[in-house]
Structure 1
Amino acid sequence: MSTTPRHIIAPRLLRRERAAAYLDISPTHFDKLVQAGRLPPAKRLDDRIKGWDARDLDAAVDELPYDGASPPDTTWDD
């Protein structure tokens, strides 16, 4: 038996159920958020839905506001 440690490779594309689990929400709620445009759509590979890009999901989560946070001050944008 080999003593070499096995490396775990996390998938980049996640199927619907795994994408929902990644965000710790139900698949039904995940579907609603995708349909509403609050989460990105799935990526396609060879005319077939493959899954959601984990990096796109990360970016969508990065854009969510913090609970109780006030909107950013944009007065300097004039």
Structure 2
Amino acid sequence: MSRALNVLPPSLPPVGINREQAATFIGVSPTTFDEMVQDGRMPQPRMPSKGRIVWDVEELVLAFRKLPHRQVEEAPNLDEDLLPDNPWDRKPRK
């Protein structure tokens, strides 16, 4: 696949990508991608030849867009969770 990617001009991206590329394309690990394919959140691969499987990029995009958004009430307060406590950021007591 890497040879094919080097042959294609940048204006002509591939329509079929392998498992690792598909996982990276949607922002998950290959193991998580496998689980998503298994449970139907991601499409099944196509078989352009015997023993070769690839995922259709357009099908991946469509499946990705169907994934739910994170709910606001479930979202952590990223400022509090990621930053150390800074006394200068505290509001003064009245």
Q: TM-score, normalised by structure 1?
A: 0.71
* Inter-partner Cα distance in structure 1 for 2:57 and 2:42: 11
**RMSD value over aligned CA atoms?**
1.9
Give the C-alpha shift of residue 40 in structure 1: 0.5
* Inter-partner Cα distance in structure 2 for 1:36 and 1:28: 13
Unaligned runs of 5+ in 1: 1-5, 70-78
Match of 2:55 among 46, 52, 55: 52
Matched, 1:38 2:49: no
| Conserved 8 A contact 2:41-2:67 | no
Report what 2:25 is aligned to. 22
Report what 1:12 is aligned to. 15
| Conserved 8 A contact 1:42-1:49 | no
Following superposition, which runs of at least 4 residues in structure 1 exceed 4 angstroms of deviation?
none
Unaligned runs of 5+ in 2: 1-7, 73-94
Higher alpha-carbon deviation: 46-55 or 10-19: 46-55
